Amino acid sequence: MMAWCSSAVLILFLQAALNVDGTSLALADHTTLGSSNTVILREPPSKLFTNISGMVDNHGMCQCSVYLPDNSFPAQQVEKLEITTEALSIRVETELSKIREFSKAIEVYELKIQNLTMKVESMEKSSVSYTELEFELLKVEITEMERLVSQLKDTVIGSNHIVVQLYQEITNMSATVQKLESLDKNNLLAIRREIVALRKRLKECEENRNEGTAHVHVPAGSCNHGGIYNISKPYVIQLNWRGFAYRFGGWGRGYSSRDPQKELYWTAPLNPDGRYLEYYRIFTSHDDLLLYKNYKEYRLEYGQGSGSAVYDDFLYYNCHASGDMCKVDITNNKLVVRKNLPGAVFNNRFSYAGVAWQDIDFAVDESGLWVIYSTEVSTGNIVISKLNETTLTVEKTWQTRQYKPSVTNAFIVCGVLYAVRPINTRKEELFYFFDTKTEQEGTLSILIEKTLETIQSINYCPSDHKLYVFNDGYQVTYDSAFLPALS
């Protein structure tokens, strides 16, 4: 506009000059201000059109001088203004194209944010379907977007509402993802990692089991073998569900005489005093046990020591501060039988070596329920009784010559009691047996590695021939290998 105005004024002015003087001027070369051919205006307006001197230069170009005072026609300022305007319009154009670019970019980012928001939302809804990898990808995407948007923010000088909002959204989302992830770390991811580790351990277990039983294959619940030949390395299954502070307790796989393949695991960590049995959990699958989920948790008032066992859906334990045996239905936690074990001592009279409150220790084998204890009459030596599991009456009793407080723990396999003693902090020895069928006892030597120093309990399960060991709060299993049956 400014440029057009000043040109028009000049043309009018030059036309007027031509009319007055009758001289032919090379107009085309002079209409543009700022070119090398200059029109110099010096005369006041009154005399302006009356006396103009001109001359023709070497190139045949006519040149003339006109005087025009600055205050009436500020040509130099016009010239400056025009330059400024041009520069300005170029910049306006540049800025406009930048904004067009940015709004395009913003559209793309908005789409991306919508996509990401959808992803995050679907993650929040279905907490099972996402993986760590998805989180990593998401985080990479979000970081990339944060970078782009902060670039954008720097380029658009001043506060651009859309960009600021975009930035806010991305920051929000990043926070959401982090929150989700940290939540997830506590359960799903941890569980996934645990599952991977567990799978690996299970595989090792499986391989080792095959190795261990290579001597003779014994079907679940069968006694067609010649006794224990060897014990495998320990397999740490998990820390008990109550944690490190609960070093004492027992656990095992419940044996069902009607359905030997049935899966049922019980865990009964004692209170930290190592005496009170108060809470126990029942798991109906190995996976649930490993994941600490889908369990039934019950409270007893109270059991004593870590000598409990589960047989045919009942938990048997030493009733607190007594020589009594308690039988609880694990499907509803009802106490169904409480019966005195004749002659049995209790309250640390003859507990096991290194483990207190375990004067009365229940055992399960292929033929049913047993109890391992001592009496004053036995002078602290191990007494074994076969129980009628329905009534808890003693069916038969055997006296051994093994002093109970010198053994770590004992268990029964196919009517043979096996006892373990400590060798050092890393090893135990299965050193003693008593066969209730032949009433013969003797020694053997099978070394058993242990992960931690103290073994609180050992429970044998006829279904899988494993020993379930509570080792300073850790639940550990061992496989047993058998000798071929004597025929």
Ligand X SMILES: *[C@@H]1O[C@H](CO)[C@@H](O)[C@H](O)[C@H]1NC(C)=O
The stretches of 156-187 forming alpha helices (DSSP H) are 161-186
CB of 82 to ligand X, least distance (A): 32
Residue with tokens 């782009």: 148
Instruction: Name the minimum Å distance from CB 45 to ligand X.
Output: 15
| Residue span binding ligand X (CB under 6 A) among the ranges 109-117, 144-152, 359-367, 378-386 | 109-117
Q: Which helix (H) or strand (E) holds 35?
A: none
Q: How far apart are CA 3 and CA 202, in angstroms?
A: 87
Task: Report how far residue 204's alpha carbon sits from residue 15's, in angstroms, rounded to the nearest whole number.
Answer: 106
Other CB atoms within 10 A of residue 213 CB:
19
Which one of 125-133, 161-169, 194-202, 241-249 is the stretch in contact with ligand X (CB under 6 A)? Answer: 161-169
259 vs 376 by CB, closer to ligand X: 259
Q: Is residue 153 a contact point for ligand X (CB under 6 A)?
A: no
Task: Pick the binder of ligand X from 67, 112, 124, 347 (CB under 6 A).
Answer: 112
Strands 440-449 and 455-461: unpaired
Cα separation, 358 vs 273, in Å, equals 13
Output the CA angle 476-455-319, nearest 5 degrees.
Answer: 100
Among 388, 427, 443, 444, binds ligand X (CB under 6 A): 388
Kindly indicate which of the ranges 2-10, 229-237, 333-341, 413-421 contains the residues binding ligand X, using the contact rule CB under 6 A: 229-237
Cβ proximity to ligand X: between 305 and 422 the closer is: 422
Burial of 437 (0-12, 13-18, 19+ CB in 10 A): exposed
Residue closer to ligand X (CB basis): 404 or 465: 465
List C-alpha distances in Å: 356 to 118, 273, 409.
58, 10, 11
Q: Which amino acid is at 459?
A: N
**Binding span for ligand X by CB under 6 A among 5-13, 66-74, 168-176, 180-188:** 168-176
CA distance 382 to 399: 7
**115 near ligand X, rule: CB under 6 A:** yes
**81-86: long-range contacts, CB 8 A cutoff, minimum separation 24:** 81/2, 81/6, 82/2, 82/3, 82/6, 82/33, 82/34, 83/34, 85/2, 85/3, 86/3
Q: Least separation, in Å, of the C-beta of 390 and ligand X?
A: 4
Which residue from 232, 375, 436, 480 is in contact with ligand X, where contact means CB under 6 A? Answer: 232
Among 169, 361, 429, 472, binds ligand X (CB under 6 A): 169
| Cβ pair 251, 460 in contact under 8 A | no
User: Is residue 172 a contact point for ligand X (CB under 6 A)?
Assistant: yes
Of the pair 9, 111, the CB lying nearest ligand X is at 111
**Site for ligand X contains 168 (CB under 6 A):** yes
User: Which residues inside 14-53 make contact with ligand X, applying CB under 6 A?
Assistant: 51, 53
Using CA atoms, how far apart are residues 221 and 223, in angstroms rounded to an integer?
7
Q: Which stretch binds ligand X (CB under 6 A): 92-100, 106-114, 155-163, 198-206?
A: 106-114
Residue 381 as a binder of ligand X (CB under 6 A): the answer is no
Nearer to ligand X, 211 or 259 (CB): 211
CA triple 414-420-425, angle to 5 deg: 150
Q: How far is the CB of 369 from ligand X (least distance, A)?
A: 9
Task: Please work out the total of residues on this chain that contact ligand X, with binding judged by CB under 6 A.
Answer: 16
Of the two residues 163 and 328, which places its CB atom closer to ligand X in the complex? 163
The smaller minimum CB distance to ligand X, of residues 82 and 169, is found at: 169
Please say whether the beta carbons of 429 and 331 come within 8 A: no
Nearer to ligand X, 280 or 432 (CB): 432
- Candidate residues 119, 233, 242, 339; the one interacting with ligand X per rule CB under 6 A: 233
Q: Is 390 near ligand X (CB under 6 A)?
A: yes
> Which residue carries 């268990």 as its tokens?
411
Three-class secondary structure of residue 125 per DSSP: helix
Q: Where do we find the tokens 């985080």? A: 139
Look at residue 33 and give its three-state secondary structure.
coil
Identity of the residue, 193 or 427, whose beta carbon is nearer to ligand X in the bound complex = 427
Q: Which is nearer to ligand X, 93 or 144 (CB)?
A: 144
Residue 34 per-residue DSSP state: T
Reading the block at residue 182, the tokens are 């940290």
CB of 480 to ligand X, least distance (A): 10
Q: Which span (12-20, 22-30, 111-119, 326-334) binds ligand X, by CB under 6 A?
A: 111-119
230 contacts ligand X (rule: CB under 6 A): yes
Cα separation, 345 vs 379, in Å, equals: 10
* Binding-site ranges for ligand X (CB under 6 A): 51, 53, 108, 111-112, 115, 165, 168-169, 172, 230, 232-233, 388, 390-391
